[in-house]
Amino acid sequence: MTKVVVTGGAGFIGSNLAGELLKQFEVTVIDDLSTGRLENLEEILDRVEFIRGSVTDLELLRDAFAGARAIFHQGAVPSVQRSVDDPLATNQANLDGTLNVLVAARDCGAKKVVYASSSSVYGDTPTLPKREDMIPNPKSPYAVSKLAGEYYARVFSELYGSRTASLRYFNVFGPRQDPKSEYAAVIPRFVARLLEGKPPVIFGDGEQTRDFTFVKDVVKANILAMESDAQGTFNIACGRRTSLNELADRIMAILGMNLHPVYDAPRPGDIRDSLADISAARKRLGYEPEFDLEAGLQETVRWFSERLTI
């Protein structure tokens, strides 16, 4: 079978991607388990090659990438807030690591590198929806690192003939997302709190909006990007925005609960509104989201309900 590699493959998105890729490919997963978890791979660990290591180790990447058709680069310190707290660690993992991935993929002759970027590169520019041709305005070290990674990917295409695609994820959610970290994303935090009988905590007034994207659609976008000849940067999202107040109401409705949210001070680095224009991904990758917010939340809440103790 054809070999592919997933960096950060024990993480939330990476493990979902590795599981789907196994249906068609021989899969190698690289993860240093700093934020990823082996339990995310428990259903497939006997069918993947797992390498515990960091994307900051260039020689490890060169060995692991040998013979691979494609590299899915998911490995990163995946948090705006964590990058605010520790910008040096974020830069080392996200920027140095991405450069290492591109160098190793070039040297090993991989046909495509699909890079996980982020909607955070747009910052707080008020124009909606966000389009790939807009001038970026990153507001956190995390966003800076992701944008710089995109530029590196483009330069490697232009200078070395590497084929690259950068996917700007918008607020990905779904099974295996970690609710326990202090840097956890909003949906697993809300679900975990509610399953404990506690009200959700909202930073700010709750009227900030996000374009929530179910992880299975992100997985599909990665595979489409690998299979496509298209290069460049693409928004990967649902194409609709939802306020955090509405999000809390929807999750409570699924759980049959009605608790008043607790409001706290806004967090530094957070943006006010986010909405993607996904027409470029539709046209050039053939991407079409299959899950709206309600369908994704139903599956996510069911997954967490089976695993978290009330």
Instruction: Give me the active site residues, please.
Output: 142
Rounded Cα distance, 1 and 188, in Å: 36
Beta-carbon neighbour count of residue 255 at 10 Å?
Answer: 17
Of the chain, the end-to-end C-alpha distance in Å amounts to 43
DSSP string, 105-135: HHHHT-SEEEEEEEGGGGTT---SSB-TTSP
Rounded Cα distance, 111 and 95, in Å: 21
Residue 250, CA distances (Å) to 243, 257, 295, 301 in order:
11, 10, 11, 11
Ranges of beta strands (E only) in 256-308 are 262-264
The DSSP letter of residue 92 is: I
Beta-carbon neighbour count of residue 244 at 10 Å?
Answer: 22
Rounded Cα distance, 65 and 51, in Å: 11
Instruction: Report the relative pairing of strands 49-52 and 26-31 from DSSP bridges.
Output: parallel
Ranges of beta strands (E only) in 13-163 are 26-31, 49-52, 68-73, 112-118
Element (H, E) at 242: strand 242-243
Residue 98 falls in which region: left (phi positive, over 0), alpha (psi -120 to 50) or beta: alpha
